[in-house]
Chains A and B, each alone.
Chain A
Amino acid sequence: MITAERKPMEEILECINPYNRILLVGCNECVTVCAAGGRKEVGLLSTALQMAFMKEGRTLEVKEITLERQCDPEYVEELITYIDQVEAVLSMACGCGVQEIARRYATKPVFPAVNTKFMGASERQGVWSERCRGCGDCLLGLTGGICPIARCSKRLMNGPCGGSTKGKCEISPDVDCAWNLIWERLKALGLEKKYEEIMVAKDWRPSWHGGPRRIIREDMAE
């Protein structure tokens, strides 16, 4: 999933300070799962913002709504009923959702209320960690199902580097060394030989270095 974390209150308040009527839009997908921008967080943020305004002797009208998917034009269309009644939109979705609103409602200011972080998985209750960087050419099949691009601090494709210590990365004892994980996993699979193969320089074109990416499915596109 795409993970996110709410921005600091001061930053959000600064964005909406010029306005008195806003639309606060959550999303029912990833940000709900990582407890950053679902219905519940929309409710909490709405109350907090209104209280902050009250302290200043102002009132803030907040229309709360949580869309099924904010990165989908079909659902973003639902905002049409409210958009004219507000001065600005505050989105609790990931950056994709925020941009979908900006695209659809060309003259309405929209602000992000969360920082979109990474594609990751839930480690345990309340902890998420990065797993994939969307490099566009997945090599997990070569690395025992552990991604060196997202999880090695130096993105090494032929690690581990000389800083790997007791299973941890040189940058911090709190970070697992991806190459240690890869090695342990290759051993468990009886694929130690695989380690000996050099992974050659990656072609970064399918990744973010090739410019903004699109997927066109001829069989589906109209």
Chain B
Amino acid sequence: MKTDSVVEKVLKSGQLVVTSECGPPRGANPDKVREKAEMLRGYVDGVNVTDNQTAMVRMSSLSACIIIKQMGMDPILQMVCRDRNRLAMQSEVLGAYAHGINTMLCLSGDHIHFGDHPMATNVYDLDSVQAIQMVKKMRDEGKFQGGADIDTPPKMFIGAAANPFADPFELRVARLAKKVKAGVDFIQTQCIYNMEKFETWMKGVCERGLHKQVAILPGITPMKTVGMAKYMKNRVPGMDVPDEIVKRMGGVPKEQQAEEGMKIAVEQIQRLREVEGVAGFHIMAIEWEQKVPELVERAGLLPRPKF
């Protein structure tokens, strides 16, 4: 074992890992974090805590992670390259580890243009691939990116994101291969709706043997309404929502759309767990966290292993 991460332990045991996420509040109320995290207790192996998601200011990921850790749960620290240079990133990793946080995600981050501070400066001292290299070096060599020794290196289990649907599609496996080469341990993907395309990508991943070096957790996001389906299809860059999904959501009365969305998500999980290389699921129920337990249960992912 490289770390004490529960995600790593579940993977080692050969079981499917389940993660979900908790977006920190746009304010300083810690109870908001506790409420959201509490809903997930016992249903997931790790809780991603987003880092100024969509470039909107929120409570810092590290602080919310600490709150969740204090509840006896397992947070996953998300860290974007957009807001911090390598000094700030490394000090954050040290601080997180000092608080017992041992799993993290290295991300580029949404561009500042999308958020509520479009006038701010973009940092991007590193990109996500370089951030993975940095955290791995901290863990495995006990050295800072600049080369100096670390007293008590942070043993982080390192995650990253992948979007199988972004363009150019032919590069998507190669980009993952770069993250693997950089030393990533697990990957959470963009929300999957286009099953065929995901499976094609996964085939490419397996052909290169990448699934043996990295655990892939497809992202699952249950749709609440047909409106959400349409919005995701048309408005979110890099999202691939096939027409059938929109049609299926629109084909039932409004009151039943949420249930239809849940059914779709359960079916997706059932189909994807059979796909070679799938090592678990990352469930992103956007502003719908209360539904995660039900989804995990209906998809047959309970009970979660205990360590």
Contact = CB atoms under 8 A, between A and B. Distances in A.
Contact of B166 (A154, A155, A162, A172): A162
A209 B177 CA distance: 31
A183 B178 CA distance: 14
Taking chain A's interface residues, is the majority helix, strand, or loop, or is none over half, making it mixed? Answer: loop
B40 interface: no
Given A183-B168, A196-B174, A198-B178, A158 B129 contact: yes
A73 interface: no
B105 to A, nearest CB: 13
A200 B148 CA distance: 17
Contact of B182 (A160, A170, A198): A198
B119 to A, nearest CB: 14
A155 B122 contact: yes
Nearest to B80: A154
Interface string B73-96: 000000001100010000000000
Contacts of B71: none
B167 A166 contact: yes
A196 B129 CA distance: 12
Interface in A145-176: 153-167, 170-172
Contacts of A196: 174, 177-178, 181
A165 B166 contact: yes
Contacts of B60: none
Contact of B126 (A153, A195, A201): A201
B127 interface: yes
A19 interface: no
B52 interface: no
A156 B82 CA distance: 10
B124 A156 contact: yes
A176 to B, nearest CB: 12
A204 interface: yes
Given A170-B237, A201-B134, A162 B174 contact: no
Given A171-B111, A180-B167, A200 B130 contact: yes
B279 interface: no
Contacts of A161: 108, 166
B238 A163 contact: yes
Contacts of B113: 153, 171-172
Contact of A165 (B130, B175, B238): B238
B226 to A, nearest CB: 23
9 contacts: A154-B109, A156-B108, A156-B124, A158-B175, A160-B166, A161-B166, A167-B168, A183-B168, A199-B129
